[in-house]
Amino acid sequence: MAEVVFDNVSKTFPGDVRAVDRVSLHIRDREFLVLVGPSGCGKTTSLRMIAGLEEPTAGTIRIGDRVVNDVAPKDRDIAMVFQNYALYPHMTVYKNLAFGLMMRRRHGGWGNPLFALLAPGRYRLARQERQEIEHRVRETATMLGLDGLLSRRPRALSGGERQRVALGRAIVREPKAFLFDEPLSNLDAKLRVEMRAELKQLHRRIQTTTVYVTHDQEEAMTLGDRVVVMKDGMIHQCGSPFEVYERPVNRFVAGFMGMPPMNFLDGRIVRRDDRLVFEDGVCRLSISPAHSHRLAGLVDEPIVLGIRPEVLRLASDAPPDSSLRVTVRVVEPLGDRMDVHGETAQGHTIVCRTDARTDIREDESIDLQVDMNRVHFFECQDPGRNLSLPVTGS
């Protein structure tokens, strides 16, 4: 087991494509770290650089106490699990699991009876090694519920079983770190949720440093001890799932993490009597004292208000200075809850997540009460810094 450290790492592909841009990151020993971001943000390239499949153009990568920039992939002692499983189709599950270990064995000749006579020492060591491999394979198979499938070939397995074999092949090697590249994206939604829970339990049991790449923010939040949100080759935020969701550092992170995404309204802050108010031309929302304190210097400045769908509540009795009037355009029932897409008088779409038993009809006009203590305010200019977070020393 080992920590993995990126120190100012960049990767530029021919054609001046900067896939990874000055990334510094400390992945702790035994941690489950998830790299998440939209397509092309550089997450796979980062993972491949840890594996040694891509070479950094600048900076250093360290695994444990060894800088690995010049170390061949096979000597890095890490295991990678891909989206497409990459199993050997002609081998049984047992052989797929054992193959990596067989390739690394130091003693040959176990299968040849002549060795028992001519080189009994070597024969004994080879047999012992073979028994160890068998023990590791069976132990891993039991851990993953594959005992009954060891003699099958991959084509006779379901998608979930194949993914378990791919996992098993990584685990059996007892590497210093696991690298996962979107390993669940070929599975159907239900199986993905099941495998997600299995992966989490597995990590708790084997406690190996894990770096996991996904574009799915829900997968990132449910799996990661920490989540790294990337865009354009750069890290925008690294923190616990709670931190990146509740305290996004900028508008990009706020909009990427969470489904349905955060609602954004363009407007400005104005002073009304002794209070600060957010106005967008139609609505007026009274800013809470905690936020007012941080926003006092931005009166009359344009600003973006961010409201998560769950921070809105249907309320006919809501005070006008904390509610938005919208016309219901779409109602999406989701079983226990419901997403209501409304349109403001300004023509902005606002999504509210509410109880499924609420009786709402399309084209109806409704009031949504905003919990103004839980909203965010962002700068208008890129990257849209979150102005409602407490200022920390840099």
Among residues 6, 33, 36, 43, the one that binds ligand ATP under rule CB under 6 A: 43
Residue among 162 and 215 whose Cβ is closer to ligand ATP:
215
Among residues 10, 45, 163, 322, the one that binds ligand ATP under rule CB under 6 A: 45
Distance CA 324, CA 319 (A): 10
Residue among 40 and 159 whose Cβ is closer to ligand ATP:
40
Among residues 5, 9, 19, 311, the one that binds ligand ATP under rule CB under 6 A: 19
Q: How far is the CB of 39 from ligand ATP (least distance, A)?
A: 3
Nearest Cα to 34, choosing from 214, 157, 190? Answer: 214
CB atoms within 10 A of CB 12: 15
H helix intervals, the chain: 43-51, 93-104, 113-118, 120-143, 159-171, 189-206, 217-223, 241-246, 251-256, 289-295
Among residues 12, 28, 29, 40, the one that binds ligand ATP under rule CB under 6 A: 40
Nearest Cα to 9, choosing from 19, 20, 17? Answer: 20
Q: What DSSP string describes 267-294? A: EEEEEETTEEEEE-SS-EEEPPHHHHHH
Q: How far is the CB of 181 from ligand ATP (least distance, A)?
A: 8
Residue among 192 and 291 whose Cβ is closer to ligand ATP:
192
Using rule CB under 6 A, residue 17 touches ligand ATP: yes
Beta bridge partners of 18: 12
Using rule CB under 6 A, residue 42 touches ligand ATP: yes
Residue among 110 and 212 whose Cβ is closer to ligand ATP:
212
Binding segment toward ligand ATP, per CB under 6 A, in 33-41, 243-251, 275-283, 333-341:
33-41
Q: How far is the CB of 106 from ligand ATP (least distance, A)?
A: 36
Q: What DSSP string describes 16-34? A: TEEEEEEEEEEEPTT-EEE
Residue among 14 and 148 whose Cβ is closer to ligand ATP:
14
CB atoms within 10 A of CB 284: 16
Q: How far is the CB of 190 from ligand ATP (least distance, A)?
A: 23
Residue among 43 and 176 whose Cβ is closer to ligand ATP:
43
Provide the 8-state DSSP code for 313. Answer: E
Residue among 19 and 235 whose Cβ is closer to ligand ATP:
19
Looking only at residues 163 through 192 of this chain, which bind ligand ATP when binding is defined by CB under 6 A?
Answer: none
Using rule CB under 6 A, residue 44 touches ligand ATP: yes
Using rule CB under 6 A, residue 41 touches ligand ATP: yes
Residue 77 is encoded by which pair of tokens? 């002692």
Using rule CB under 6 A, residue 16 touches ligand ATP: no
Q: CA torsion sign, 144 to 149 to 154 to 156?
A: negative
Beta bridge partners of 250: 385
Residue among 252 and 278 whose Cβ is closer to ligand ATP:
252
Nearest Cα to 387, choosing from 322, 327, 318, 302? Answer: 302
Name the site residues for ligand ATP (rule: CB under 6 A): 13, 17, 19, 37, 39-45, 215
